[in-house]
Structure 1
Amino acid sequence: MNTVALAPLCVAILFLAAAVTFTLSHRVRLQRLVSLVALVTVLSLEATLVVSAWDGEPQAVLLANWPAPFGITMVVDQLSSLLLVVSSIISLAVLIFASGQDIADNDHEVPISVFYPTYLLLLAGVSNAFLAGDLFNLYVGFEILLMASYVLITMNANTPRIRSGTTYVVVSVVSSILFLTAIGFIYASVGTVNMADLSLKLQTLPLGTQLQLHLMLLIAFGIKAAVFPLSLWLPDSYPTAPAPVTAVFAGLLTKVGVYAIIRTETLLFPGGALDGLLSVVAILTLIVGILGALAQGDIKRMLSFILISHIGYMIWGIALNNQLGMTTVVFYIAHHIVIQTGLFLVVALIERRGGSANVERLGGMLKVAPWLAVLYFIPAINLGGIPPFSGFIGKVGLLQASVEANTGMAYAMSGVGVLVSLLTLLALTRVWNKVFWRSATKAEKPTKVILRAEHDATAKGKNQLDRHDHKPIPVSMVASTVGLVAVGTSITFFAAPLFQLAEHASDNLMHPDRYIESVLGPQTPTREDYLGEFLDQQNAVDNEDASNDGEVVTE
């Protein structure tokens, strides 16, 4: 049996598990078990998809055997299968983290009976978006994950979460309306929404119409990816959500937008018509993101701004429009999903252990929790691009791709990228110094109280603080965080095969005819042949009209 035919199950299992957990709303343990089994099963299926797609061409699955472009199509290639696996790995780690938090907290910070089905729906939407072979199915995937995210981001319904959730909902709805409008215009123009079919037919439109549709899609996806100036909503939305929600949002949701931009630039509108605009956007996203991070005192807000700046690295690679740049983008997305999610989980543990995520209220935690210092330090220097970690490998790849491009904008992005990498390291190490290295006596009162209580507890021979002084950290929360940090570190050791997979992915991305052939069949003409046939037909029609205009009608 062709393993690619199992791709729809990666979405169907999550939908089924969400429905089952919803019916088990009063049996949290069963909800937890069903969710874990579903995610492990889906991860196993996705691993087989990666193996199947490792060095081959894209493969299409036609649901219900409806021929393309009329039916629903799912496409599996190196990019989609890799992102499916990475998203499931971090989703599983976050689910274990959230389960441990629920078990440890008697007050239930989040309504956990709602959390499990909504969380599974979110992941189903993400998986559907990665596999979508047509724009409308991509829109459906976006809407599923967005509707689930509306619930997750406002859990516990306190004032800050409602306020930030409102901003998030409004921005997301605007983006969705723009995306749906673009789909309507595209269908009205060429009569299809299948992305393989669109790759052929969009090029027959007037250049002005192509530019308008291209810009509409980029703006819609740019909002979802949080590129400047469409990123102002993110730092106010993500940090106020519950810790597990913030972690999975930061790791996954913006990357779905980046994935859609990649498909737009390599399949729907290849040729680099807007590479100059993307280069400017990449530079501004890098600069604004890191300057915002340097101005923050709250660690979660700082990481949210760093998230924005690192989206700039991905747009940089796309704007280069060469194979090495696209290879590095694929590698960097996988790296960043894991590292960013792991860092947010570490910060959640710091906040739980120290009572705050504000660096001015934390200090001396190296003595209190040295293991937390290590957990933060490893992904922090990775994200900052210190060799030999995967963050360094990704940035070097972008620099090499810029030299290969040999343009002024490529060199400008290189200079900004190196500077932002140094400033990222500065922002992350400043947090480490204040939270772990700085003396506790220089921190504000909340941390002093905790450390004094720790000293009193030690003096009395107790092994841990009183429950009123800090929240206990269960083993499952620590284990899931350690596991995710270990996965992020292992990317460095397995960078060669991962980069090889990224090379295969970029090779297919830079040759869209392979995608088109996998969906529409081997007899489909290439983009150049299709455009040539279309132009010949247009010339024939124009010549016929001209000859008719020149005829003299006599009676």
Structure 2
Amino acid sequence: MSNLVILPILLPFIVGSFLILFAKHHGIQRFLTAITMVGLLLFSFYLATLVYQEGIYTLQLGNWPAPFGIVLVADMFATMMIILSSIVGVACLFFAFQTISSERERYYFYPFYLFLIAGVNGAFLTGDLFNLFVFFEVMLIASYALIVLGGTKYQLRESFKYVVINVFASILFIVGVAYLYSVTGTLNFADLAIRVAELEQQGVLNVIAILFLVVFGMKGALFPLYFWLPRSYYGPPAAIAALFGGLLTKVGIYAIIRTFTLIFNHDPSFTHTIILALAGFTMFFGVLGAVSQFDFKRILSYHIISQVGYMVMGLGIFTPLALAGAIYYIAHHIIVKAALFLFAGATEKITGTTELKKMGGLLKTHPWLAWLFFISAISLAGIPPLSGFFSKFALILAGFEEGRYVIVTVALIVGLLTLFSMMKIFIYAFWGEQKHTEQQAKMPIGKLLLPIAPLVVLTIVLGFGAEPIFQYSLQVADELLNPSVYIESVLKE
């Protein structure tokens, strides 16, 4: 049964490679990609159920025992993230079917899409640091291709910045890997956890920990390393922007949570205090950027930054309740942020613009679009009884319990500013005087709403089903805060 662990990586990679042979047959590419992603979604639920019922699954490739060989590990956190990546991957793919031009399809859009999913899933499942780097590169190379498809001047300029910052982060990643290996003699996560606990060189370990925090902070858009994100995510088509906004930064956050609960947990008074401070600055400066913008997609891009701060806030507080809140928040944000970017794409399809001052009256002409957006918007802002409220509530409660009043205050202020900026979108784009033509007003968008509606339903379900979902998040948090379970599963004889 452990062989199942490799399927979320192998399936999209093999199908993506096969689709390269059918570059001119868009119908075949669409069909096979859709079948692959739906199958991956169903399988991800099956794998998560097995792990929940039977415990952590490990696969030692080539029968090389850990820590000497490559190992894949499916624990509750990893399988939860694979479910989320599959959900967003399916929604964005079916939205792309309605919006991606044949010109983009011709240049291997679907193979690169599947390679991106393979890289993301590999990052979630890998059990060693070097292969985390490898899967990051698979994911990033695919994202480089997807972000430039279309080849507009703006896209090429901003994608160049995206490539440069990620190449620099990758160089630092390799430096960190070499540094850590020279100190510990291993790169296996479980083995690293044991070696780090035995080392007395706290100062050296803290330097390495901060180096990895910088690397993953660049990829996850933490303060002050988020400057590349808003403009880079503005250029691509809505389906790709939604996939990136909902998923890619969370891979960096996943890596931070994984390494700072399993490996770099030797001096939390130092490392996690820094993480908590970064969380506060990330939330505050991200939301200020959102408040200052008057473009639909730019506001959403800045909100990616501010919302990432809530996730690392839970890690910085470093209690079971706080970490459970962070995990719940990741699930909420991946779903809602992807939906919001797809809404931006749908409104742009109707009006031809994302500038709020050139929009208006969509509530009258496209009421379903308006009200579904409204639900997602207030969920992002944390209004009960939707998923954003319960995930933030857990973080706020954990902050009060630990006496972290400054970060709690920042989180509450950021929540209010988030509500303000999302209502600004609703008032300008959906409320008020109609600014689009009658021909645009009659444009049918039912097919565009079909892949978005399940995401909106999910944020409602995550809210109304908060108790069982939060219990699951608590179990994930307990597993993360008790590394011995992970270590024993990987290093068992």
TM-score over 0.5 (shorter chain): yes
- Choose the corresponding residue for 1:191, options 182, 185, 200: 185
Q: Which residue of 1 aligns with 2:172?
A: 178
Counterpart of 1:52, as a letter, is L
Task: For 1:366 and 1:390, locate their aligned partners in 2 and report how far apart those are by CA, in whole Å.
Answer: 24
Cα offsets for 1:193-219 (capped at 9, x unmatched):
101001111231511210111011110
Task: For 1:403 and 1:112, locate their aligned partners in 2 and report how far apart those are by CA, in whole Å.
Answer: 54
Task: For 1:82 and 1:473, locate their aligned partners in 2 and report how far apart those are by CA, in whole Å.
Answer: 35
- Choose the corresponding residue for 1:489, options 444, 451, 460: 460
Cα offsets for 1:268-325 (capped at 9, x unmatched):
1114131211111011001100000000011100011111000000111000011111
- Choose the corresponding residue for 1:92, options 90, 93, 101: 90
Aligned partners of 1:283 and 1:312 also within 8 Å: yes
1:115 aligns with 2:109: yes
- Choose the corresponding residue for 1:48, options 27, 35, 46: 46
Q: Which residue of 1 aligns with 2:144?
A: 150
Aligned partners of 1:126 and 1:142 also within 8 Å: yes
- Choose the corresponding residue for 1:287, options 284, 288, 313: 284
Q: Which residue of 2 aligns with 1:536?
A: none
Distance change (3 Å), C-alpha of 1:139 and 1:472: farther
Q: Which residue of 1 aligns with 2:232?
A: 237
Where does structure 2 lack aligned partners over 5 or more consecutive residues? none
Counterpart of 2:492, as a letter, is G
Q: Which residue of 2 aligns with 1:398?
A: 395
Q: Which residue of 1 aligns with 2:125?
A: 131
With normalisation by structure 2, the TM-score equals 0.97
Q: Which residue of 2 aligns with 1:78?
A: 76
Aligned partners of 1:100 and 1:474 also within 8 Å: no
Moved more, 44-53 or 318-327: 44-53
1:412 aligns with 2:406: yes
Task: For 2:103 and 2:465, locate their aligned partners in 1 and report how far apart those are by CA, in whole Å.
Answer: 38
Counterpart of 1:137, as a letter, is N
Q: Please state whether the residue corresponding to 1:229 is helix, strand or coil.
A: coil
Task: For 2:342 and 2:38, locate their aligned partners in 1 and report how far apart those are by CA, in whole Å.
Answer: 20
1:504 aligns with 2:475: yes
Counterpart of 1:225, as a letter, is G
Q: Please state whether the residue corresponding to 2:451 is helix, strand or coil.
A: helix
Aligned partners of 1:352 and 1:473 also within 8 Å: no
Q: Which residue of 1 aligns with 2:416?
A: 422
Task: For 2:172 and 2:444, locate their aligned partners in 1 and report how far apart those are by CA, in whole Å.
Answer: 43
Aligned partners of 1:352 and 1:470 also within 8 Å: no
Higher-Rg member (1/2): 1
Cα offsets for 1:206-239 (capped at 9, x unmatched):
1121011101111000001100100000001001
With normalisation by structure 1, the TM-score equals 0.86
1:314 aligns with 2:311: yes
Counterpart of 2:254, as a letter, is Y
Task: For 2:103 and 2:381, locate their aligned partners in 1 and report how far apart those are by CA, in whole Å.
Answer: 32
Cα offsets for 1:228-268 (capped at 9, x unmatched):
10000000100111111100000000000000000111001
Cα offsets for 1:443-502 (capped at 9, x unmatched):
xxxx3xx33xx1xxxxxxxxxx2xxx5895554322111222222222113322221211
Task: For 2:31 and 2:415, locate their aligned partners in 1 and report how far apart those are by CA, in whole Å.
Answer: 41
Distance change (3 Å), C-alpha of 1:473 and 1:117: farther
Q: Which residue of 2 aligns with 1:457?
A: none
Q: Which residue of 2 aligns with 1:357?
A: 354
Q: Which residue of 2 aligns with 1:521?
A: 492
Counterpart of 1:298, as a letter, is D
Task: For 1:192 and 1:345, locate their aligned partners in 2 and report how far apart those are by CA, in whole Å.
Answer: 43
Q: Please state whether the residue corresponding to 1:156 is helix, strand or coil.
A: coil
Cα offsets for 1:410-449 (capped at 9, x unmatched):
2111011011001100000111011111223xxxxxx3xx
Identity %: 38
Task: For 1:473 and 1:162, locate their aligned partners in 2 and report how far apart those are by CA, in whole Å.
Answer: 32
Cα offsets for 1:109-164 (capped at 9, x unmatched):
62455110000000000000000100011111100000000000011111100011
Q: Please state whether the residue corresponding to 1:173 is helix, strand or coil.
A: helix
Aligned partners of 2:71 and 2:126 also within 8 Å: yes
Q: Which residue of 2 aligns with 1:458?
A: none
Q: Please state whether the residue corresponding to 1:74 is helix, strand or coil.
A: strand
Aligned partners of 2:56 and 2:73 also within 8 Å: yes
Aligned partners of 1:54 and 1:504 also within 8 Å: no
Cα offsets for 1:379-424 (capped at 9, x unmatched):
0000011111110001110011112223xxx211101101100110
Offset of residue 54 of structure 1: 2.0
How many residues end up aligned between the 2 structures?
490
Cα offsets for 1:53-111 (capped at 9, x unmatched):
22654332212221000111111111100110011011001101101224xx5xx4624
Aligned partners of 2:386 and 2:459 also within 8 Å: no
Q: Which residue of 2 aligns with 1:159?
A: 153
